């Protein structure tokens, strides 16, 4: 959306200037501004004699910048999509992985366990990378945990302090969620399959309506606006690095780092699966990414996408 790009700097722009730059009349500018507010939920200020400006600057994605800084990686930058994971799965019918899909907003962002991932326009990172895996159980082993390590390193590198992992693949700061990972599989895991690695990082979000869990963002933690292209590049580079080590050495190469970053290591927890619940103490993670719990009767390892973990004495 060209008009939004002109306004993204957060400065005042007169209707006349915007019209000139877009080659349209002032009244057409006004109509587009109305549309913009409904479509992208951005907050516009209008001051007589000065013009229009966004309530605060937006860091929008730039395909040119991303292509330049990630040479060799095929990528798409979309404006508004249902879900970058869903679009990546659709692209698989006509494009060969690896590739990446990014978007400014998602209207039906997918979270784990059927939850909705709130995805406001231009605020956070909505990133889906598709990889192809050929007859290799080890490449799928603990893959989502390894992706968690890539996100963890990226957040730390960009100045987020105190970030940790929560099994299986949540990223938290002081108990509040800052990023989430959703892997979706297409094809046959025993033969050739494609994995969509969906990553959502709360980057510049300050207010989140409709989020049903404690959350934070890079902006709230580090106190400054995140340049989202820089974040996307750092994430793509780190993801490539960890995926290549994972291909060669499996999860063993990340085991120690993962457990050292596990926020609930050694804690008493409740593991929930639908209506079933089991209490135990977190011992760590197994070689294939399962959760090792000390429960009555000894040690048990749990895995599965529908599981969720809570602290035992959490209210
Ligand atoms: C979770 O519930 O923690 C996982 C959230 C994953 C969200 C990301 S945003 C990019 C990608 N597209 C989606 O629809 N979901 C993932």
Q: Which has the minimum average pLDDT: 58-62, 79-83, 136-140? A: 136-140
Would you give the DSSP letter of residue 225?
A: -
**Alpha carbons within 13 A on the beta-carbon side of 294:** 8
Enter the tokens of residue 287: 């070689």
Tens of pLDDT along 259-296? 999 999 999 999 998 888 999 999 999 988 999 999 98
Q: Which has the minimum average pLDDT: 10-19, 228-237, 273-282, 301-310? A: 301-310
For residue 184, CA distances in Å to 87, 125, 152, 301, 305 come to: 12, 18, 20, 22, 10
129 lines ligand 1 (CB under 6 A): no
125, 180, 232: residue to mutate for ligand 1 pocket, most atoms within 8 A of CB:
180
pLDDT range class, residue 165, cuts 50, 70, 90: very high
Q: Would you call the peptide bond into 273 cis, given omega within 30 degrees of 0 as the criterion?
A: no
Please report the pLDDT score of residue 108 as a whole number.
97
Query: Is residue 8 within 8 Å of 42, Cβ to Cβ?
Result: no
Please report the pLDDT score of residue 152 as a whole number.
98
Q: Which of 170, 147, 169, 310 is nearest to 239 (CA)?
A: 147
Please report the pLDDT score of residue 143 as a whole number.
94
84 lines ligand 1 (CB under 6 A): yes
Would you give the DSSP letter of residue 199?
A: E
Binding-site residue numbers are 83-85, 106, 110-112, 177
Atom of ligand 1 nearest to the CA of 111: 2
Residues that are catalytic: 112, 177, 310
113, 182, 196: residue to mutate for ligand 1 pocket, most atoms within 8 A of CB:
182
Q: How many CB atoms lie within 10 A of CB 135?
A: 11
Cα dihedral 266, 180, 111, 75 in deg (nearest 10):
-150
Please report the pLDDT score of residue 81 as a whole number.
97
For residue 39, CA distances in Å to 74, 105, 106, 279 come to: 28, 10, 12, 45
User: Is 315 a residue whose pLDDT tops 70?
Assistant: no
User: Is 78 a residue whose pLDDT tops 90?
Assistant: yes
Determine the distance separating the centroid of ligand 1 and the alpha carbon of 21, expressed in angstroms: 36
Determine the distance separating the centroid of ligand 1 and the alpha carbon of 182, expressed in angstroms: 5
User: Is 36 a residue whose pLDDT tops 80?
Assistant: yes
75, 80, 85: residue to mutate for ligand 1 pocket, most atoms within 8 A of CB:
85
Q: To which H or E segment does residue 173 belong?
A: strand 170-173
Q: Which domains does the chain have, with CATH numbers?
A: 2-54 (1.10.10.10), 63-259 (3.30.930.10), 264-311 (2.30.30.100)
Name 116's bridge partners: 110
User: Is 40 a residue whose pLDDT tops 80?
Assistant: no
Atom of ligand 1 nearest to the CA of 180: 3
Atom of ligand 1 nearest to the CA of 113: 2
């Amino acid at each position: 959306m060209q008009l939004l790009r002109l306004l993204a700097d957060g400065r005042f722009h007169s209707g006349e200037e915007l019209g000139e730059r877009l080659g349209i009349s002032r009244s057409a500018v006004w109509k587009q501004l109305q549309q913009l507010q409904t479509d992208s939920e951005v907050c516009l200020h209008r001051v007589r004699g000065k013009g229009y400006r966004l309530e605060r600057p937006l860091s929008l994605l730039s395909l040119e910048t991303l292509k330049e800084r990630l040479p060799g990686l095929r990528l798409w930058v979309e404006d508004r999509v249902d879900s970058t994971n869903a679009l990546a799965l659709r692209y698989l019918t006509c494009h060969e992985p690896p590739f990446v899909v990014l978007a400014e907003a998602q209207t039906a962002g997918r979270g784990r366990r059927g939850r909705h991932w709130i995805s406001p326009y231009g605020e956070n990172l909505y990133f889906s990378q598709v990889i192809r895996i050929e007859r290799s159980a080890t490449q799928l082993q603990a893959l989502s945990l390894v992706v968690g390590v890539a996100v963890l390193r990226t957040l730390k590198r960009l100045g987020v302090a105190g970030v940790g992992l929560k099994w299986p693949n949540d990223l938290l700061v002081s108990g509040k969620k800052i990023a989430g990972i959703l892997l979706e599989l297409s094809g046959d895991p025993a033969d050739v399959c494609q994995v969509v690695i969906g990553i959502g990082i709360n980057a510049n979000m300050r207010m989140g309506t409709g989020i049903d869990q404690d959350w934070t963002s890079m902006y709230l933690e580090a106190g400054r606006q995140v340049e989202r292209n820089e974040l996307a590049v750092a994430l793509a580079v780190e993801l490539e690095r960890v995926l290549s080590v994972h291909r060669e050495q499996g999860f063993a190469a990340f085991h120690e780092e993962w457990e050292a970053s596990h926020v609930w290591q050694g804690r008493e927890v409740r593991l929930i699966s639908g209506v079933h619940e089991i209490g135990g103490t977190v011992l760590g993670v197994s070689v294939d990414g399962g959760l090792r719990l000390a429960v009555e009767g000894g040690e048990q390892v749990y895995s599965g996408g529908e599981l969720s973990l809570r602290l035992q004495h959490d209210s």
